[in-house]
Every structure is written in C-alpha cells, then in structure tokens.
Structure 1
Amino acid sequence: MTKQRLGVCYYPEHWPEDLWTEDARRMRDVGLSVVRIGEFAWSRLEPEDGRYDFDWLARAIDVLHEAGLRVVLGTPTATPPKWLVDKMPDMLARNAQGRPRGFGSRRHYCFSYEPYARECERIVTALAQAFGAHPAVVAWQIDNEYGCHDTVESYSPAAREAFRRWCEHKYGDIGALNRAWGNVFWSMELSRFDQIELPHLTVTEANPACLLDFKRFSSDQVAAFHRRQVEIIRRHSPSRDILHNFMGAFTAFDHFAVGRDLDVAAWDSYPLGFLERSHRDEAFKRRFMRVGDPDFQAFHHDLYRACGAGRLWIMEQQPGAVNWAPWNPLPAKGAVRLWSFEAFAAGAEVVSYFRWRQAPFAQEQMHEGLLLPNSEPNEAYHVARAVARELESIDAKVETECADVALVFDYDSAFAWEIEPQGQDFSYFDLILDFYGGLRKLGLNVDVVPPTPEAMARRKLIVAPALFASSAALTRAFSESGALVLLGPRSGSKTEDFQIPPGLPPGDFRPLVDVAIQRVESLRPGAQIPVEAAENGAFVRWREIIAAGAEAAVLLRCDDGAPALTRRERFLYLAGLPNDLLRDALLRRLANEAGLTLIDLPEHIRLRDNGPMRYVFNYGERDFDLSPILGEASLLLGERRLPPCGVALFRRPG
C-alpha cells in the first residue's frame, strides 16, 4: 500500500538562488515530501533557439534532493517562449472567429501544428536526457492543464488539414462521410475530403455530426500530442511515474484517452474558484462560499482515479484565495485541511499545494500560497504542517477498493449534449454531478467510470443517465453485470454518427428496457411535470414521451399519465430529469433493492471509505453528532461532535 504524502508547487526561477536552500529546509520542516518544478520555465531553460541553460535547474534539483525532497519535473511545453513564436508564428492556435491567440500568457499553441510538436520533442528529449536518471526525480508532469483557457479546439489552417486527414482515415470514402453526417440535408454534400471545412463561421449552426467529429478529432490531437512526450520520457527516464494535471468541470477532450498513457492521473483542485464558476444558484453559493460544493471535489477525485487506472494525485490544492474566479473569498478555518483529507479519503497518493510562495508579480500575484510574498508563513503553511503530522500519526496509506456503485461518465456524451442541448440549461456535467451528489447523500462510495464493458464488472448498482449513444458491447456488459441498471433520460438517443436510431431511442439499449422514446420536450426554468406517487417529485428541464413494450412495467407515471419510470427485469428507464426529491427517492429505492447499506446524511455531511478506514466531513456551519455513524468505534481523528470543517476518521467494524 502506498504511503500518502504532501507536496507543493515551487518556482525556483522566480526567486533569488540564495533563497533555495532555506526554502527546501522549510519545506521539509513543514512535512512536505514532493515538489513540482519546471513546468513553465522554457524561456529560462532555452533563452535562445538551441542554447540550453539547464545549470540553474540542476542546482535547484540538487538543493531539493539534499533536503530529502522528491521532485516532479514538468515539461515546459505549455509556455513556448517569444523567440519560438517569432520563429514560427503559425504555431499559434486560432479561435472560432479565426483570430490568432497571441503571445503574452500561456497555452498559445495549436495541437495540430507539426513543427511546434517537433520543437516540444526536442526540448523534452534534452530535459529527459539531462535529468531522467537523477535520483531526486520520481515523476514527470507532461505539459500543464491541457485545454485551459479554451485551447483544445483550434481553427487554424494546420487544424483544418489535420481534420481532413482524420476524416479520411475514419471514413475512407467521401460517400461514407456524407451518409454519416447526413450531408444530403441543406445540400452539404462533398465530393472530396479536401473540401471539408472546419465547423465555424457558418451562417447558422453547423452540422452536429461534423461538430461531433471535430470535437473527437480535437480530443485525439491532445492525446497524440501528449503521447509523443510520454514516449520520450519512457525511453530516457524509465521507472519514473508520468502524470498530467487535469482540471475541474472540464470536458473538452477525453481524459480517459489521455489517461491510457499515464501512470498517475492528477488534477488541480480549487473548490472555491470552481464553486464561483458553477451553475449552482446564489443561495447555494453563499451557503458554501468558504468551503466549496460538498460533492464537486469528491466527484473529480473519483473520476480522475479512474483515468489513472486507480492512481490519483492532487497536483494543485487551493491553499487560500485564488485570483481567477468572479469572486475570490478566503477559505473557512479548517477548509484546506478538510479538502486535503477528502482527497486522501478518495485514495490520493499525494496532495500538493499551489504554491510555495505567493508571487508578487505577473498574472497570479493575487493567488495565495503557503508563504506570503515576503516569505512569512500564510495560514495554509500551518495547516500543511498539521496535516503532515496527522498523516504520520495515522500511518495514512492508499487502501481504496472497488465500489459497489458505478456512475458512468462519457466524454462523447458531454460533446454531444453541448452541441445539441435542446434546452438552454441542459448540462451533461451538471446532470452527472447531481446524480453523484444524490448517491453520496445516502452515504455510498461511488466509482465514476468510463462506458467500457470492463468497468461494469463487480457492481451492484450502475447509473448511466444521458449516455448519448448505445452499443452492443455495452448493452451486453450491462446484461452480464448482474447489477441493477438505471438508464435515462437521453440514454441511447443517438447513434455514434449523431443520428436518431432507426428503431427510435434508446437504440441498442432497447432490448434491456423494452421502451421506445417517441417525443421529447425541454422545459423552461421553473416549469415542472409532477410525478404521481412521488411526494413533490417532478421532472424539470427535460421530459420524454415513451411507449412501454409488453415486457416493461410502468412503475411511476407523470400526472398527465405518461410513463415516468419503467422496468424490465433489472433494467430501469427514467423518462426525464428528476428534481432533487424524485432523484433522492429513486436512488434510495434502487440502493435498497441492490442490498447496499445506506446512511442518511444531512446536506452538509459526507463520508468516504478508504478501504477499512471511514472518513466523515462536515461542510456545514453547525456541529454534527457523529454517534449514529460512529457507533462503538474509536476515533483516530476528530471528535464525536464534529465541528464545521471538521474531519473524523475511524476504522469500520469488521
């Protein structure tokens, strides 16, 4: 079992060299073990074309190593220097209006521009040869936050040519593409692949099938760009972990595809910033302003653990106020500690705070760190010290197990419902997060999984709402899983080519549920369709009119008589988006039938099991009596009356 540790992000190039040794000593004294460096340093590593200056980086790594710290070395390809942009100005991505995304911040490159990819290979090869065998370097971070600032999709000439090649490779014949895209509509038919244009600057909406393929292509470009660097690191720095730091609520590329080339999936956890950017209502945001959404961080821990084949790091953990949200409040007392242990409860091997010292200059000068700009300790410095001591006292290790509940998350579905929401406020991400929160409120551990057959094994309950396209393989996996399976709404409503299935939705899922979706409607804000026999339960935002077959029993109906929930054997279909009351009642019903042990939790209390170790978290403003949950067990952390932002830990009986 892997020991759980703390880390920090450090930028030695930002500070006088005579600070480095003292910084390293203080990091070690606080209890930090892992330090990430180098991911934005290309201009210092190669000040001029072909002239490397690695000496300063070598000295920095040696200083950290001498202090007993482990180093994660970042490849600097998220920040190409000015001389490189001047050398190849066509490397810049273009936005949907066709304008170059210029130099002066970061992520100013197009994934499809081959000369830039070769420059990346060159600098990464040089770094891997120089530091790949250094005993301090235990891991590599490839690039930084792929897609941040809406940079996955580029509308450059290079992207257009690459998209044409991608389409030709996929379809082989232009007639096949025309049929898949439905190009007979509006006379959009093509006679050659070199006639394909990027889906932007059209008079009205572009063809949804073309848009979906462009999103798939753009996602594939990210994965291919990433893989080239991974192969170099594997060759020159064997046995070191390779990771990438994903972001929150970000669905512009398939993270599972990138994850296939990783040893560890990491993500950057900023609970307060993400809450401010979320679609939650104002009352919710005010209530959780200083602690964050009780389910948002946990959802991403579970999602990215799946992307990393069971291995998870938090590469950037919010330590104080950030600088990039609409409003940037300070965390509540105890919130940073709570977030840290929430990650460890979900199986994180490392929680790394961003950053060591607050920068007094440039774009992120208002982003707090463990130290103030003058090197005095900030509040999170003391929090990190306390968490490090607690980790030692409980001998914290990764002990995660396969959860009985699987919640299916699919990036193709996120692409599809962004293209065709059919209702202005329909959000696939928000829908999945709502179901996740409903399951967590029942005290359940949840694995967030890709829509692959192997992910369905060893489950008791599978929840797969809004899975846009069905497949024979996934249908077979659901059937063979032995689990109770909830589909709908919008599950199987399209083919892989973004067309309505010939036999009507839910396509290949139809033999499981024996229903046909005949009509759909989206509902404006505030509108509800009550569901009978579900006290105050209703559909909101989305409802489907379904015809139930002879083998499908109607369990619930809308007040207009239309089926709301149907069942055939172990397979249920939900014909609309449930409000919280309907969702919670349905999930409770299914969890009980699946034989799961439920714990009724208040809205502000959450728990998570790390193997035999059970963590409890208080996101609320009042103390919570743990006695009903704790029973006769002894606490390893916390007290029976759990205060706001409190964390409790105990070993589950048996």
Structure 2
Amino acid sequence: MKSFQTSDFRLGVCYYPEHWPEKLWSDDYRRMREMGFSVVRMAEFAWSIFEPREGEFQYDLFDRAIDLAHEHGLQVILGTPTATPPAWLTHRYPEVLNVSQEGIQYQHGQRRHYNYNAPVYRELSARIVRKMVAHYRDHPAVIGWQIDNELNCEIDVFYSEADHQAFRQWLKGQYGSLDRLNEAWGTVFWNQTYTEWEQVHLIRPTVSDSPNPHQALDEKRFFSDSAISFAKLQADIIRETAPNHFVTTNGIFGHLDSHRMTDELLDFISFDSYPNFSTLFPDEGEEPLLDRKWSWNLSIVRSISPHFCIMEQQSGPGGWVNRIEQPSPKPGQMRLWTYQSIAHGADMVLYFRWRTAPMGTEIYWHGINDVHNRPNRRLKEASQVGEELQKVGRSLVGKNVKAEVAIVKDYDNEWDGELDNWHGPYEKTSVQSWFKAFQYNHIPVDALFLKKGITLEELRKYKLLVYPHPTILSDETAHLLTEYVRSGGQLILGCRSGYKNSSGICEVRPFPGPIAELCGVTVEDFTRIGPYEQPPRVEWWHGENVTTMAEGFNDILYIDSPSAEILATYQDGYYQGKPALVRNEFGSGTSYYYGAVFNEETADCFINLLGLKSPTADWLILPKEVELSIRRDDSTGETIIFLLNYAADSRTIHLNRKSKDLLTDQVHFGSTTIAPYGTLLLDGSTKQSLT
C-alpha cells in the first residue's frame, strides 16, 4: 500500500489568495508560521485565473502568492483546477456538462457539473494541467499536486451522451460480445436481450424505478473507471513533467474504487475530515458515536494509505447558504478532531480553511479565521495544536496504527447494495454496530477491503475478520477466506452471505454458496422481518445464558458438518428452536455464521464469546467515552497511546503503571482526568523514561 512519507509532521491550511486583497497575504503567511504551519494548499478552483480565455494563460497572481509563501518558509501543494471548469468552457462546449438520469443537463453556476468522458473536456483538462505543472515544476516551494478536488463529491452518476458512448466501449472491453453481456446481465429475463450495441445505455428512467440489477452494478463499475481514467490523465502528466512532486487527490466518495486509484496512480490518498457532519447524519442507537464515528471513515482511509494526508480538517461550523448547516465546534473539539486524524494515521493535516469565504456558496463554511480577521478561539486552538506538534510531531510520523481485528468490505457489495435493499442497508447497520462495539470495548479495528490481488498474508495479519453480509461472493474470494480460516484465522459472517456471483446473479446452489463447507451449514429457510413483526429473540448457549434480538433478516440454518456446533437458537416464530449461530472448526481456525443482521448487543456477545480484550486492558481502564488508538514503530517498539475524550465533560481513566503524556510531560499513575474533548498521548513503550 502507498503511504505519505515524511520525517517531520506537517501542519498547514487551505489558502485562497484569489479571494483576498493582496495586502493581506504577507500578514497571513506570517501568522501561519507563528502558529507552526509549514504547508498550504491552493489553486484547486482557479482555472479561469490561469486561463481567463481559451488558450490564453497567465500566472501572475499565483506566482506572487507562491513566491511570497516561499519567502515565509511555507511549502505549497497545488490543486489542478478541473473541478470547476470556467464559464467560457461550458458555454462554448456544452457537451462537457453532466446530465441527470432523466436527461436534464446541469448548468454552470456551482461545481462538479462536468462529465469525465467528453473528449473536449479531457483535452482541455490535460492542457491546463500540463501548463500549470510545467510552469511550477521547478518552483522551490511546490512539493506536490492534488488532482481535481473531491472526485465524485456532490454527484457520482453521469448520463451525458459522452458517458453513454463511453459505457458501450467499456462494456465491449469487459465482455467482448453482446452474447456475453446478455448472459452477465441476465437479459433473457423480461425480454431485455440486446442485439446491437447501440441499444445499450447507462440506466435510464424505468417503471417503478427498478432497473436491471446487473446492469446497475456494471454502471457503478463504469463510473469508477471513468473517474480513475480522468485522474490518470492528470497523474501521467504530473509524473512526466514534475517527477519530483508527489501526486494525491482528496476525499473518498461514492462509485469510486479509491484503493485501485491510489495503487495505480497516486503516491498516497488524502482525506477531507468533517466530523461535525455527524450532527446532521447521526448514527442510530441509544449511545451514538456522533463525531467519533469519523474514526471509521479514517480507518477506511488507512486501508488505502497507512500514512495519509488530511487535506481538509474541519476548523469551524460547516454550511452552505442553502443546506448542511452545523453548530460551531465546542471549545476543544477542533483540537480533538485533529488528534483523531493523527491517531488513525495522518502524518500531514491541513485545516479548511484559513479564513471564511466572504462570498459564494460556502460563506457559512467557516475557517480558522472569521471574515473580520480578528482573533477568535478557533485560531487559539489551532495555535495550541501547532505548538504541540512542533514538540511531538517528529515522534509521531511513520508509526503504524495497530489493530488485530478488521471489518471486511468490498466495492461490489457496497454498490450492489445501493439497489438491493435486502442486503445494502443490512451491511451499513452491521458495520456500524460492530465498529461501535469495538470502540466502546477499546479494541482498535481496521477496515480491510477485499480488492483484486489481495493476498492471504494481508488477511493473516488479523486474528479476527468480521465480514457482515457478503452477498456477492466469488469462488476466488471464498477460497481466500477458506485458506485464512484453515491457517488459524477466525471469521464471522452474517445473513445473506454467498448468495450471488460477481455479476450479481444468484448461483444455483445451496446458500451460503461457495462458503457452505467452510461454515458447515446450509440455509434451510429464510425470511425478512416484516414491518409489523417483532424480531425473534436469540438465546446464546455459551457461559451465562444471554438473549439478544435477531433483527432485519433471518437465515434458518441447517448443520451440514460434524465439526459444526450450534451456539445460539431462535426463540420465537415458526422457526423457534432452529439454529441462529453456528461455529465450525475448520483446519486450524474457526468460522461463525450468524443468521441475522448484527446489532451492538450481538457484537458484544461475540466479543465476550471470543474473549477479545483491549490491548491495554492489563494496565489501562477507560470509560466508554474515551477512544483508544495505538501507533507503534515496528522496528523499535516505540509506542504512542492516543486517548481521545469525546464527552462534553471530563472523564476519569485509571493507569496501573506510570506513563508520560507526551504533550505535557506529566507522568500519570492511578486515577487521571481527561478534560472535556481532551486528548492524552501516552508513552506506551515498555521501556520508557519517566524522568
């Protein structure tokens, strides 16, 4: 996996010199340096400044801005400006504009209103990228490039004529013939068989909004490949023209295989972290994770690049003029969120943004400084982080985040689950439940994506894999999972596993298909829990009797292997007494098949059943509100324990051995208080100096 490489932690900010009078620039840069900032990002929305009219290029404004940044000791990351094509371009070449599924063309006036496949847009994008990179390749301040901005943000579906044409070419490359396409899409059903390529389109409006599911899955694969192709167009230019600059892009959004894109094109992935979105889209349950849920997003980022950049770290309340309004971060939260990113693998963090925009859609998306440019508490908080990272930053970079368990995901099931609501919502619920259970039990967890080419050794790093609902499960993936368990791993699966092949077509074999032998079961019967039904109770047989609820969907299991053992049974309904959870010893390892959707209580039962403990349980007692994360140098054993308090009031922890807080040099032992939204960075090395 590709990672950001640095010997010093880099803290910085996104800066937009085009938004402000030039007389402010020098003072802005001076204050940045005083705050401990060393890097700025700029230019990602400035195409019309570099090319005000087609074929006319100018660089004066950013030459002055970048030269001045260099004078103040700031490094610069430049964004290619292709997320916002200029008005002259969309007016002269309207075919570059994206189109809705209903055929309505989006117009100029916001951002990300273009498509990836219009030949003229690819040509003009390549030209502006080549011009910019050639101009700045030797500038001593410029260290790297962010391709575009947040690929597939705002919108992740594309239906222009150029996209329909490109989709046909993509399908020809995938299948070679219409016969193979028809087979993969099951077009014999409802008389959808295609006899000419011109008959094939991306999904168009359908009766009851229920298109061919196999076509829908391929459509999302195509959207992803289109975005990757567009990024490759730019990455290749940067590699050729400025080989000493790094190449990244920011954000993880829908219908984009960010793992493949990073592996093939980038030096590392960057992420835009806005934990306050949790106030608008809270997770469910009595004890929601809220902003702590962003740790799962950061775990996904870490699955792409173990060491990454936060290109946009939230520094103020977010909101556009017409939507997504958020409360202001409470005192301490901005610092907490910064260390949340660092705890999960960030070795460079840039705040968004230096100063709140005085105009445009994002006038309510606040930066560190308010528009009036007077001191505020966010500025003070960012300065505190800068001072702390100047002290401890070098000891943080390069250390790996440590976890012995992983929640498994893959893009095919994620994309297929958008249409198939028999398993799509289940996966979201189960992942959230497992992550919450691991968090509240202080067990660090990774995200593990089963991407093409993944090896058994990558799986064997983990003692336990939780793969909630792999409805689409190829024979190759099933074989990999089987070998993982055979070699000593533990695997937990949920209902609806092994139901479809890679095209999304149901295999003619007993459920759970290619993993039936591994799990030692077949599915005897199944049912979705109806809207007027209570989910059945499940009685667990291990240790003390425990009862949980089997929510969402129930597979009724039949034992097929002498090594399989029933661990829990349904207690209600027509399948009362039937197996709900089966454990199967397989080789040196164990598989667990659970016939329902996971909730937090069920995940807790599994944690108890497997005897999972926090890696610091022998010396550190933590309340639920405090997150534990560990970064360690594998060669030296040097370890840093991150303790993050997400509560609005102080929390007490207990240490059974002395440990120094690297931020304050205070040695803690016994009961210690963490301030509201506070952070401790404890020296977790067994050999530590406490003098």
**Distance in 2 between the 1:427 and 1:564 partners?**
17
Contact 1:494 1:505 in 2 (8 A): no
Q: In structure 1, the residue corresponding to 2:396 is in which secondary structure? A: coil
2:311 match: 315
Shift in alpha-carbon separation, 1:529–1:326, aligned structure 2, 3 A: farther
Going from structure 1 to structure 2, the CA distance change for 1:584 and 1:2 (only over 3 Å counts) comes to: farther
Q: Which residue in 2 is equivalent to 1:458? A: 461
Question: Does residue 539 in structure 1 map to residue 550 in structure 2?
Answer: yes
The within-5 A match list for 1:173-184 is 173-184=177-188
Match of 2:390 in 1: 392
1:59-138 alignment runs, 5 A limit: 59-138=64-143
Which residue of structure 2 lines up, in the alignment, with residue 191 of structure 1? Answer: 195
For the residue of structure 2 that corresponds to 1:32, the secondary structure is coil
Q: Deviations over 1:13-60 (max 9, x none)?
A: 111112111111111111111100000001111100011111211111
SS state of the match for residue 658, structure 2? coil
**Which amino acid in 2 is paired with 1:322?**
G
What is the one-letter code of the residue matched to 2:643?
V
Q: Which residue of 2 aligns with 1:486?
A: 492
* CA distance 1:335–1:402, shift in 2 (3 Å): closer
The 3-state SS of whatever aligns with 2:238 is helix
Give the counterpart letter for 2:466 in structure 1.
V
Distance 1:239 1:506, change over 3 A: farther
> 1:350 is paired with a residue of what secondary structure?
strand
Asked if the contact 1:369/1:378 (under 8 Å) is kept, the reply is no
Normalising by structure 1, report the TM-score: 0.93
Give % identity: 33
Note the alpha carbon deviations across 1:402-424, whole angstroms, 9 max, x for none: 5321221212111111110127x
Matched, 1:563 2:579: yes
8 Å Cα contact 1:31-1:384 kept in structure 2: no
TM superposition shift of 1:591: 5.0
1:293 is paired with a residue of what secondary structure? Answer: helix
Residue matched to 2:599:
579
SS at match of 1:300: helix
Once the two structures are superposed, residues 577-620 of structure 1 have per-residue CA deviations (whole angstroms, 9 ceiling, x without a partner) of 12221111113323539999687754322110011100111112
Superimposed CA distance per residue, residues 614-645 of structure 1 (whole angstroms, 9 cap, x where no aligned partner): 011111233222214x6322222477211220
> Secondary structure of the residue that 2:76 maps to in structure 1?
strand
Higher mean alpha-carbon deviation, 380-389 vs 529-538, is at 529-538
* Residue 529 (structure 1) aligns with: 536
SS in 2 for 1:165: helix
Residue 159, structure 1, aligned to residue 163, structure 2? yes
Distance of aligned partners of 1:527 and 1:50 in 2 relative to their CA distance in 1, 3 Å threshold: farther
Give the CA deviation at 1:185: 0.9
Q: Which residue of 1 aligns with 2:11?
A: 6
Look up the SS of the partner of 1:592 in the other structure: coil
> Do the aligned partners of 1:407 and 1:447 also contact (CA within 8 Å) in 2?
yes
Task: Report the secondary structure of 2:347's partner residue.
Answer: strand
Task: Work out whether 1:297 is the aligned partner of 2:297.
Answer: no
Structure 1 segment 69-468 matched on structure 2, within 5 A: 69-150=74-155, 152-204=156-208, 205-247=210-252, 250-260=253-263, 261-280=265-284, 292-294=290-292, 296-308=293-305, 310-324=306-320, 326-395=324-393, 396-398=395-397, 399-401=399-401, 403-422=403-422, 426=425, 428-452=427-451, 453-454=454-455, 455-468=458-471
SS at match of 2:539: coil
Moved more, 317-326 or 263-272: 317-326
After superposing the two structures, state which structure 1 stretch, 617-626 or 513-522, moved more. Answer: 513-522
Instruction: Count residues with an aligned counterpart.
Output: 641
* Aligned counterparts of 1:25 and 1:35: Cα–Cα separation in 2: 13
Q: Which runs of 5+ in 2 are unaligned?
A: 1-5, 633-638, 687-691
Contact 1:2 1:349 in 2 (8 A): no
Unpaired runs of 5+ residues, structure 1, are: none
Q: One-letter code of the match for 2:294?
A: Q
The counterpart of 1:610, out of the listed 616, 631, 635, is 631
Structure 2 letter corresponding to 1:555: L
Secondary structure, aligned partner of 1:632: strand
Indicate how the Cα distance of structure 1 residues 279 and 347 shifts in structure 2: closer, same or farther if over 3 A, else same.
closer
Q: Can you list the C-alpha shifts for 1:524-569, whole angstroms capped at 9, x where unaligned?
A: 5683221112634112222222323124222111112232211211
Q: Which residue of the partner structure matches residue 642 of structure 1?
A: 674
Q: Is the 8 A contact 1:251 1:414 kept in 2?
A: no
CA distance in 1, matches of 2:116, 2:608: 45
- Give the drift of 1:375: 1.5
Deviation at 1:321, TM superposition (A): 0.8
TM superposition shift of 1:464: 1.2
Aligned-partner Cα distance in 2 for 1:439–1:85: 49
The one-letter amino acid of 1:634's match is K
Residue 179 of structure 1 deviates from its aligned partner by 1.5
Residue 21 of structure 1: aligned partner = 26
Contact 2:429 2:599 in 1 (8 A): no
The one-letter amino acid of 1:576's match is: A
SS at match of 1:540: coil
- Please tell me whether the aligned partners of residues 313 and 350 of structure 2 are also in contact (alpha carbons under 8 angstroms): yes
Task: Indicate the RMSD between aligned Cα atoms, in angstroms.
Answer: 2.2
Name the amino acid aligned to 2:192: M
Letter in 1 for 2:679: V
Say whether the 8 Å CA contact 2:433–2:598 is kept in structure 1: no
CA deviations on 1:266-322 (whole Å, 9 max, x unpaired) are 1111111244134536x767xx7xxx432x2211222112222x2211111111111
Q: CA deviation at 1:653?
A: 4.2
Residue in structure 1 matched with residue 474 of structure 2 by the alignment = 471
Query: Would you say the 8 A contact 2:426–2:597 is kept in 1?
Result: no
Q: Report the TM-score when normalising by structure 2.
A: 0.88
Q: Secondary structure at the match of 1:469?
A: coil
Deviation at 1:237, TM superposition (A): 1.2
Contact 1:320 1:380 in 2 (8 A): yes
Is contact 2:649-2:677 (8 Å) kept?
no
Structure 2 CA distance for aligned equivalents of residues 401 and 322 of structure 1 = 29
